[in-house]
Structure 1
């Protein structure tokens, strides 16, 4: 196991981040290697954890999820048990796209997609506020997404 990236690995990772549906033949042609070594590189990148998974990015607006909310949550206490309990509970909600444990004035930052403000209000009242140990929920409504990127450019 090498755990060291070279320029070819970086090119493969950048290509796959732009379009995960690319086949090995397409990637090989783009980077100037034959199919077999390209396949072996991709296999190694997966094995070493550089490639976590392949996903499709769905347009949330097309699915009727017009409101994006950045929500901060503060817990009453921060013991290991209460943190794990909160994380497990909030992970089950399909509306929650991302969960980040943060340092500062709040304990968690959540990215939530819902239909509208009423839908969000119901979500907070029925789900988020119902989780034991939640002290405070603060909501920020996204007016406009300026940059929406999932790719992390790999440079060697």
Structure 2
């Protein structure tokens, strides 16, 4: 991994649909050398995937809720059952096992507070091993990125 690879990754994170010719120009490489490097970076797993980032508001899901979950225990089977079940909830965008006051932090999207109440009732309250849940509604997203520092 050299500086050219880092420049390629920086550009790809912000413009995943950029053509190889444009990318090569931005990082000062020939198109063929750039293509080889991108293929290597993909093959080595530095680039996991290319996705379209949708606008949650335009998709009718403008409400973001962070849900802190405490489980009834820490046994492997409790953690595994919870993780397997939460992965099937379509409104949960992220699930993180965390250290601290809670066991998991979820990022959930909803149409509004009433929709979240339905998601809570139908899905979250039925997750296995949950002892406590605390929900916090985001009032406004101040900053959001998917780009890692390179």
User: Shared fold (TM-score greater than 0.5)?
Assistant: yes
Deviation for aligned residue 1:20: 0.3
Which residues of 2 match residues 106-125 of structure 1 at below 5 A? 106-125=102-121
Offset at 1:49? 1.3
Name 1:100's counterpart in structure 2. Answer: 96
Q: Normalising to structure 2: TM-score of the pair? A: 0.97
Give the TM-score of the pair, scaled to structure 1: 0.93
What is the rounded CA distance, in whole Å, between the counterparts of 2:141 and 2:127 in structure 1?
29
Q: 1:144 aligns with which of 134, 140, 149?
A: 140
Is 1:14 aligned with 2:10? Answer: yes
How far does residue 153 in structure 1 lie from its aligned partner after superposition?
2.5
Aligned residues: 150
Contact 2:85–2:128 (Cα < 8 Å) also in 1: no
Distance 2:140 2:88 in 1: 27
Does residue 57 (structure 1) correspond to residue 53 (structure 2)? The answer is: yes
For 1:28 and 1:89, the matched residues in 2 are separated by 43
Q: Which residue does the alignment assign to 2:68?
A: 72
TM-fit CA distance, 1:122: 1.1
SS in 1 for 2:119: helix
After superposition, the C-alpha distances for 1:38-79 in whole angstroms (9 at most, x for unaligned) are 111001111111111111110000011121001101110111
Across the aligned residues of Structure 1 and Structure 2, the Cα RMSD in angstroms comes to 0.8
* Runs (4+) off by over 4 Å: none
Q: Which runs of 5+ in 1 are unaligned?
A: none
